[in-house]
């Protein structure tokens, strides 16, 4: 996804705008951004649009415009994803999707046939005896 951004670089980056730009973009990786509708996984093809940075009034920050391409994780509602369980509790299951994205399944979204077993710290299916514990691979449907 190609995006144009305005960045405000701190004074410490005046000697190396490229390094400062990279530092600011690095802080966006693995963060959810409303404007993009997803989580930034990586970025590439950074282009500085302006040849010179701008100083606004008495601000010590340098204003620059860049174009950048983002790889964005944007699952859609009802999409089926696969994850590996990393934590199980009485209230939810935490898992990793693609080994890097955290997700959670609230207990209200776990089928009623599964009950939490405190002694083994896992969900157990009352009928089939299937279990959900740390390391279990599960498929789930995106709710929101």
Question: What is the dotted CATH code of the domain comprising 2-73?
Answer: 3.30.1490.120
CATH of 80-141, one of 2.40.50.140, 3.40.1440.60, 3.40.50.10070, 1.10.3720.10: 2.40.50.140
Q: What is the pLDDT of residues 51-76, one digit of tens each?
A: 778 888 888 888 999 999 999 999 99
- Check if the beta carbon of residue 122 is closer than 8 Å to that of residue 131: yes
Locus of tokens 């415009």: 65
- Check if the beta carbon of residue 23 is closer than 8 Å to that of residue 88: no
Residue % of the chain over a pLDDT of 70: 100
Q: What is the pLDDT of residues 74-133, one digit of tens each?
A: 999 999 999 999 999 999 999 999 999 999 999 999 999 999 999 999 999 999 989 999
| pTM for the structure as a whole | 0.76
> What's the confidence (pLDDT) of residue 54?
85
Q: What is the pLDDT of residues 8-36, one digit of tens each?
A: 999 888 888 899 999 999 999 999 999 99
Q: Is 83 helix (H, G, I), strand (E, B) or coil?
A: strand
> What's the confidence (pLDDT) of residue 44?
97
């Amino acid at each position: 996804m190609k995006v144009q951004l305005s960045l405000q670089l701190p004074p410490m980056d005046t000697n190396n705008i490229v390094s400062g730009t990279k530092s600011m973009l690095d802080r966006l990786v693995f963060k959810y951004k409303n404007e993009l509708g997803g989580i930034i996984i990586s970025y590439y093809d950074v282009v500085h649009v302006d040849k010179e940075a701008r100083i606004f009034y008495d601000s010590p920050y340098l204003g620059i415009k860049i174009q950048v391409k983002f790889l964005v994780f944007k699952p859609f509602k009802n999409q089926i994803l696969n994850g590996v369980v990393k934590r199980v509790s009485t209230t939810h299951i935490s898992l990793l999707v693609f080994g890097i994205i955290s997700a959670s399944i609230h207990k209200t979204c776990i089928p009623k046939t599964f009950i939490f077993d405190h002694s083994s710290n896992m969900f157990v299916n009352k009928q089939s005896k299937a279990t959900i514990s740390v390391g279990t691979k599960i498929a789930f449907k995106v709710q929101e």
